Amino acid sequence: MEDLRYPIGQFIAPNVIEDVHIQEWIEEIKNLPAAMRKTVAGLTDEQLDTPYREGGWTVRQVVHHVADSHLNSMIRYKWALTEDKPVIKAYNEKLWAELPDTKLDIALSLNFLDAFHEKWIAFLKTLSRDQLQREFYHPEAKRIMALDWMTGLYAWHGKHHVAHITSLRERKRW
């Protein structure tokens, strides 16, 4: 049976992250806003308020979550680039997904993703290999994370959530 939580599987980074991986991941991050727009195109409010799986977030919550998560990622990059292995501030994604802004029109987060990703991609393209080796400590995961690895994680993250919505659309035949 398909695991609806991980329709594309969990993120697995290569043992050695090469420049080609970084470039592929940056391209995937760049493509996320258009992919998200395409996957939610034409959905009604009722469809947007449908959970992608039993007990999961609604499509609307997923769209707003991606915007929140990707904004947090940029802050984490900047901390890692300006401090020595900082302890980042984790946040409760589940509770954030229940805040009132996740009931708003998804156009707000789609427009944010367009603008933010343009800035994020420009930023990512400026980073050297040494900068991408910079790290931070994630207190919830209880581990050190490097920015090159994070780039892969966020490329996966966008595709992961787009797949939540596309797999729901396929199952519901929307």
Q: Give the count of beta carbons closer than 10 Å to the beta carbon of residue 10.
A: 9
Tens-place pLDDT, residues 108-128: 999 999 999 999 999 999 999
* Measured CA angle at 15 (ends 89, 31), to 5 deg: 65
Cα–Cα distance for residue pair 9/29, rounded to 1 Å:
18
Kindly report the backbone phi and psi dihedral angles of residue 110, in degrees, each rounded to the nearest multiple of 5, phi listed first: -65, -45
Which pLDDT value is given to residue 160? 97
Structure tokens at 35: 């992919």
User: What pLDDT is recorded for position 169?
Assistant: 97
Mean pLDDT, residues 26-52 taken together: 98
Counts of helices then strands in the chain (DSSP H, E)? 7, 2
Q: Which structure tokens are listed for 29?
A: 């991050």
Q: CB of 52 within 8 A of CB of 164? A: yes
Residue 1 has pLDDT above 90, yes or no: no
Nearest CA among 17, 128, 132, 119 for reference residue 80: 132
Predicted model pTM: 0.96
What rounded mean pLDDT belongs to the chain? Answer: 97
Residue-wise pLDDT for 41-80, tens only, equals 999 999 999 999 999 999 999 999 999 999 999 999 999 9
Domains of the chain: 19-49+56-172 (1.20.120.450)
Q: Give the mean model confidence (pLDDT) for residues 142-163.
A: 98
What whole-number percentage of the chain has pLDDT above 70? 99
Residue 79, token pair as written in the block: 């901390």
Burial label, 59 (beta-carbon count in 10 A; 0-12, 13-18, 19+): buried
Query: Token match 């984790």: residue?
Result: 90
pLDDT (0 to 100) of residue 2:
67
Q: Read off the pLDDT of each residue in 85-106 and give the average, rounded to a whole number.
A: 96
